[in-house]
Amino acid sequence: MQLFDEGLHSGVNLALKVDKILYRDQTDLQDLMIFENKNFGRVMSLDGSVQTTEKDEFIYHEMFVHVPMLAHGNARRALIVGGGDGGAARQLMKYRDIAVTMVDIDRTVVELSRKYMPSVSGGAFDDPRLDLVIADGCKFVKETDETWDVIIIDSTDPHGPGEVLYTQEFYSDCKSCLTPGGVIITQNGVPFVQEEELRTSYQRLGRLFQDVSFYLAAIPSYVGGIMAYGWATDDASLRKVSLSTLAARYVEAGISTDYYTPEVHKAAFALPLNIQKALTRDE
């Protein structure tokens, strides 16, 4: 029996049975593997770390997209940095009046996601409202003169090609292309095993934005428990939108979800005490 043994966090491993390898190769930037697993369906890993699976990606991507979109309430332009599997783009395409720019550094990830995991992107790559740019996301946000209402940083963990997407400079450049009252969402890993990364992002974003926090969701294929999404905006009212308003926006948008609800949205911002303490703990 072949096992995929993820050792992303020292001493904490995720082992998945590999029923069939569909693709395995080294791209120009990273080691990419796609395989089948009975419980998670098709699984994509980069540099030995699980990025997404067919069976639980809906949780990750719905919370990534619908929390900022429905909190904002009037977003018409969205930017995805990373997100080569197309899952975030698919969720954004559920909104009628949306234009999306997606910037990913690795074309191979996009192409293989389309080929081997088409259900994740759900046709988003063929939607004329999506502008796909193959480029370095850091360089893109530094040089662009465009602005967006919602920026989703769907990055890998802070090592390898994704490491630069957690820097103070990158966050500052993202803010420069955010419309007034816009919101930035980051992938901030699993606090139980990535507390330092969580605290570092909190401090760096806190130097730039008036309202910085995190919200949580449990993704079964991410080892270590609940994962955190970073939240940063200068409009503190966005995090305080009432349940009734969220519910009305959800109905008006006409979107279909399998995990997200307005109630889950509100509850996700209730941080457990250990995470609250971690954010203020001295280095």
Non-local (6+) Cβ contacts of 261 within 8 A are: 250
Q: Is 56 among the residues known to form the active site? A: no
Which is catalytic among the residues 47, 85, 104, 154?
154
Residue indicated by tokens 């080892």? 223
Q: Which residues is 148 bridged to in the sheet?
A: 178
Question: HSE (CB half, 13 Å, CA atoms) of 13?
Answer: 9
Q: Which residues contact 193 (CB under 8 A, 6 or more apart)?
A: 9, 12, 223, 224
Distance, in Å, from the CA atom of 94 to the CA atom of 271, rounded to the nearest integer, reads: 28
Q: Looking at the chain, list the stretches that DSSP marks H as alpha helix, in order from N- to C-terminal side.
A: 57-72, 87-92, 107-116, 118-121, 137-143, 168-176, 195-206, 243-253, 262-268, 273-280
Residue 132 and residue 129: Cα distance in Å, rounded? 10
| Displacement of CA 30 from its chain's centroid (Å) | 19
Please spell the DSSP secondary structure of 124-180, one letter per residue: GGG-TTEEEEES-HHHHHHH----EEEEEEE---SSGGGGGGGSHHHHHHHHHTEEE
Output DSSP code: residue 102. Answer: E
Catalytic residue numbers?
154
